[in-house]
Structure 1
Amino acid sequence: MHFRTRHRKSRRAWLTCFRRLDRTVTVFNARVVTIHLWHEIALILAVPLIDQFWNVPAFEKYLPLDSQWFMFGTGWVLIAVFVLACGWVEDVAAKKKPRLIPGGRAARMGG
């Protein structure tokens, strides 16, 4: 085995100790094309969506609608929606069984 390959595997091995982080990385890796294709649209759609939140008095009072961090979080929520709605297309394109959320037990390292 080549040194670089062996080194890369050992760098990723520590992730298996943190199941949630490992699962998150697995899902990101499996849906990277969907995230790449839809992230800009999600950020663009976040602006008019947040503008509509200003019309709801409770949202205006309790949410930081003018914060860039709120827009960033809203963008990630929209990306998650796009991944759930369109991510299965990546599985079909790779001739795999379509899954709503990829990376079940069989996809974990060592198990």
Structure 2
Amino acid sequence: MALMLYEVSNLKTSLRIGRGSGKITERKEVPHKQAERADEMVWDALYEKSVALAEEFGMDPLMSRHAGRHRHMPKAPSATPSQYWKMNMYLPFMDHLPQELDSRLLQGHA
């Protein structure tokens, strides 16, 4: 049986999953990767790609409307669609991803 390796990288951790061996190993990445999360150039490049993709389907970049008081929808205030999506989707996702990978892939296997 051939050993198949899958590598999943995020901001803090790189996981190597060996299929067939039942082993999962963890390797910590260099701490400077955390700076990528806050780098405006990284976000700007991602946002430009998403806007270009949306334009192919005839969609414009928009923010959710703010009418009145939102009790159950905590959203960070923003002035532009780029700020809105960064603060309310990108940053929370980038914070959540390493935790999910740890809990789903490493728990009980380390």
Normalising to structure 1: TM-score of the pair? 0.34
Higher helix proportion? 1
Normalising to structure 2: TM-score of the pair? 0.34
Relative contact order: is structure 1 or structure 2 higher (C-alpha 8 Å, sep ≥ 6)?
1
Higher strand proportion? 2
